[in-house]
Amino acid sequence: MLVSLDQVPNILMKYVDRELKPKVQNQGSLLAFGVGAAKYLLPVFIQEKLTVYTPLMKTMGLITKDDLLDIDKLEEAAKSGLETSGKLNILGYNFDEADIASIKRIASEHAYG
């Protein structure tokens, strides 16, 4: 499944709204505040990280020569990382396989073909 790099911020913002906010809302923590603020900060953060990591992701085969993100390969890499390290912590949140599956499901709404 391939998605345009331009869609990555939209995909991740949908994930934050649909999945992450409900999970952390009742925690009353700095993480819950951060997730609420993410609506304004996350798109810029994601775009900056994509710019920095695109060359590496192309080398890893996660981004095609046409600048499309291969969601299936990204899922494999994320799951492999979870198996190796036991956790995938991004900005203070520990992602698990259910989160990866949720992001993939949302990405399918933006996929080519």
Give the whole-angstrom CA distance, residue 70 versus residue 38. Answer: 25
3-class secondary structure, 41: helix
Question: Please, what is the angle between helix 8-15 and helix 97-108, to 10°?
Answer: 130
Please compute the mean of the pLDDT values over residues 26-55 and round it to a whole number: 80
Torsion of CA 44, 47, 49, 50, to 10 degrees: 170
Domain spans in the chain, listed from the N-terminal domain onward: 2-108
Mean pLDDT (whole number) for 39-57: 89
| pTM, 2 dp | 0.84
What are the respective helix, strand and coil percentages of the chain, to the nearest 5?
70, 10, 15
Arithmetic mean of pLDDT, 83-101: 83
Q: Which tens digits make up the pLDDT trace of 60-89? A: 999 999 999 999 999 999 899 888 888 777
